[in-house]
Amino acid sequence: MQIKKIVLVAISILILSFRMGDYTLIKSIPINATFLTTDHFSNCYIITENQLNIYDSMGKYIANYSDKTLGELTSIDATNPMKLQLFYRDFRKIITLDNKLAYTTSIKLNDLDIQQPIVICNSYNNALWIYDQQDFQLKRIESSLQISQQSGNISQTLGYNIKPTSMLEDNKWLYMNNPETGILVFDYYGSYYKTIPIKNIVSFQIIENKLVYYKENSFMSYDMHSFLEQAITMPKAATPLLYPRIEKQRYYSLEKSQVELFSF
């Protein structure tokens, strides 16, 4: 059984290497951006200050959304492209858009007594996870705008304060990037489970049980079953990358003044 497991792991690594081997530049988009993410249709979402811009899988511009009354747009969760969640941290507000970037609803986190939201992400059944720095808790907000789960004081559980930069949910597990200590993993109820000791990373994704992340100018894959790490070959960038991402047969790189889109 152990030999079979090793063989299967080796095969999966070879497949990943092969799939990421050859790149063809599809388009360079000249843009001064602060954030980039993608959805499972390979659409690309780019933030420039308070504006969200969306491009399709061939780099064709589709639309934009902007609300200058809310200040800087902090992040967007596009894991459900039919329900995009735009987070305005300074105003403690979340705006929901449909796949055409049409406004559908908003959440004023002050109304839920969430005073210091730091990061958010989509959750199953149209819910949201939010980390509130005020009381050091993860809070799950249902579509009815009721808080259904709270983690308790995470700092007390861990024995240190956390400063998360992003989080995402995958298969009902919640992954929070705390650069000083690694990826914190929480269960269905928001209870702390473990820490994956990958520190000081810029961004990460989870693809088929692999944690894909960017650190120190390297793109890496960490298998969460075998615990094996592997470097992923990527095109050379003219400047340091901010948010490299993989989506199906697409590779995206956000540099200082452009976004490049490749097929592989």
Q: Hey, what are 175's tokens?
A: 């992954």
Same domain, 57 and 116: yes
What is the number of other CB atoms lying within 10 angstroms of the CB of residue 102?
A: 9
What is the number of other CB atoms lying within 10 angstroms of the CB of residue 149?
A: 18
pLDDT surpassing 70 at residue 259: yes
pLDDT of residue 218: 87
**Are residues 196 and 224 in contact, defined by beta-carbon separation less than 8 angstroms?**
yes
Same domain, 156 and 100: yes
Q: Cα–Cα distance between 79 and 123 in angstroms, integer? A: 9
pTM: 0.89
**Are residues 63 and 100 in contact, defined by beta-carbon separation less than 8 angstroms?**
yes
pLDDT of residue 255: 87
CATH number at residue 154: 2.120.10.30
Mean pLDDT in residue range 38-42: 96
State which residues form the domain around 18. 1-30+217-264
Domain count, the chain: 2
